[in-house]
Amino acid sequence: MWSTIATWPFSLQAVEAAAQILKNGGSAADAAEAGIHLVESDPNVDSVARGGWLNANGELELDAAMMDGSTLRVGAVAAVQGFEHPVTIARAVMEKSIHNILVGKGAEEFADRMGIERADEERLIMPAARKLYEENIAKLSDEVKGHDTIGLIALDESGTIVCATSTSGASMKTPGRVGDSPIIGSGFYASNTGGAAVATGLGEDIMRTCCCFRAVALMEAGLSAQEAAEKVVLTATQQIAKTGYYCDNIAMVCMDMNGNVGAACNHQDFTYTAIRENGEPQVVEVLPIIDNGGKPREV
Ligand code: GLY
């Protein structure tokens, strides 16, 4: 039995590619990487790899990760430049290095050693991203916007669950800023003892509340994927609200070891895509767990 789920409508192409691999008995890691590759190469997705938002120096800096729930092995890269497929570097960190996270130049040199192809600026940076950057500079705006990570979970026929993420992070982010997407337990987590979770939204808030580790721990404790996602997003939102901050940019998807999926968000307009064995592709809009005019519930 296989199953796959991913964040945002632009991930439909990714789950379809992942499903093709899973259907043919392929591994969850192959499925996750192949699915994410399509989104990383899509110049119309402005928050992931090619076509992604630029940082405050006008550079495209990418974060990505992969985790294998059967081995608890992890690979992640952060603030990587000059590559179209950071998820492939993350997978190589997971499978071929003794480390968990590599950043910046070190990650890029590691990718070179692994024979992973570089891409030039003309291919990676789209005119729309450059234009937005120039406009922000002209307006002296350093407003940080857009954190739409592709996070994908795949469960394969052998019973292994893998999750992976990839993002360019927020536009106008401070160079060197690392979001939640390459941080284990925050933007992603997988363990065959419970399931997997991936998050999307404001990385700073997702990291503060370690959303994905919590969700997997809850599934391990017997909650369904849907219950786990809802509990984590609600708790994180309330925890942050208690500190006096406004928290309205967290979404996550979860999968248990039977391929059942769940999702929750604390804002409008979050959609996930999913395909299960013998099922049709699904594109599902998620209602916010907190729906009282955009403000967190009283805590
Ligand atoms: N969730 C992606 C980021 O904040 O960079």
Q: From the candidates 4, 7, 88, 149, give the one annotated as an active-site residue.
A: 149
Ramachandran category for residue 297: left, alpha or beta (phi over 0 → left; psi -120 to 50 → alpha) = beta
- Give the chain's radius of gyration (CA, Å): 18
Residue 246's SS3 state is coil
Pocket flag, ligand 1, residue 181 (CB < 6 Å): yes
What is the pLDDT, as a whole number, of residue 11?
98
What is the pLDDT, as a whole number, of residue 295?
54
Pocket flag, ligand 1, residue 201 (CB < 6 Å): yes
Ligand 1 pocket: which of 39, 87, 167, 267 to mutate (most atoms within 8 A of CB): 167
What is the pLDDT, as a whole number, of residue 91?
98
Ligand 1 pocket: which of 165, 181, 198 to mutate (most atoms within 8 A of CB): 181
Q: Is 149 a catalytic residue?
A: yes
Pocket flag, ligand 1, residue 47 (CB < 6 Å): no
Q: Closest by alpha carbon to 201, among 144, 254, 256? A: 144
What is the pLDDT, as a whole number, of residue 296?
47
Closest-lying ligand 1 atom to the alpha carbon of residue 177: 5
Closest-lying ligand 1 atom to the alpha carbon of residue 202: 4
CATH for 3-286?
3.60.20.30
Domain ranges of the chain: 3-286
DSSP state of 297: P
Taking every pair of C-alpha atoms in the chain, what is the biggest distance, in angstroms?
54
What is the pLDDT, as a whole number, of residue 299?
38
101 CA distance to ligand 1 centroid (A)?
Answer: 16
Asked whether the CA dihedral 72, 177, 80, 202 is positive or negative, the reply is positive
Closest-lying ligand 1 atom to the alpha carbon of residue 173: 5
Pocket flag, ligand 1, residue 4 (CB < 6 Å): no
Pocket flag, ligand 1, residue 212 (CB < 6 Å): no
- Each residue's pLDDT, cut to its tens digit, for the chain (299 residues) gives 999 999 999 999 999 999 999 999 999 999 999 999 999 999 999 999 999 999 999 999 999 999 999 999 999 999 999 999 999 999 999 999 999 999 999 999 999 999 999 999 999 999 999 999 999 888 877 677 767 999 999 999 999 999 999 999 988 999 999 999 999 999 999 999 999 999 999 999 999 999 999 999 999 999 999 999 999 999 999 999 889 888 889 999 999 999 999 999 999 999 999 999 999 999 999 999 975 544 544 43
What is the pLDDT, as a whole number, of residue 291?
56
Pocket flag, ligand 1, residue 180 (CB < 6 Å): yes
Pocket flag, ligand 1, residue 7 (CB < 6 Å): no
Pocket flag, ligand 1, residue 169 (CB < 6 Å): yes
Q: Closest by alpha carbon to 36, among 53, 8, 20, 13? A: 13
Residue 252's SS3 state is strand
Q: Whose CA is nearest to atom 4 of ligand 1?
A: 203
Report residue 8 as tokens: 């945002």
49 CA distance to ligand 1 centroid (A)?
Answer: 13
pTM, 2 dp: 0.96
Backbone φ and ψ for 101, nearest 5 degrees, come out as -135, 130
Contact between residue 4 and residue 155 where contact means Cβ atoms under 8 Å apart: yes
The enclosing H or E element of 120 equals none
Closest-lying ligand 1 atom to the alpha carbon of residue 201: 1
182 residue type, one letter: P
Distances (CA, A) of 172 to 40, 75, 279: 19, 26, 40
Pocket flag, ligand 1, residue 165 (CB < 6 Å): no
Contact between residue 145 and residue 15 where contact means Cβ atoms under 8 Å apart: no
Distance CA 236, CA 259 (A): 25
What is the pLDDT, as a whole number, of residue 166?
98
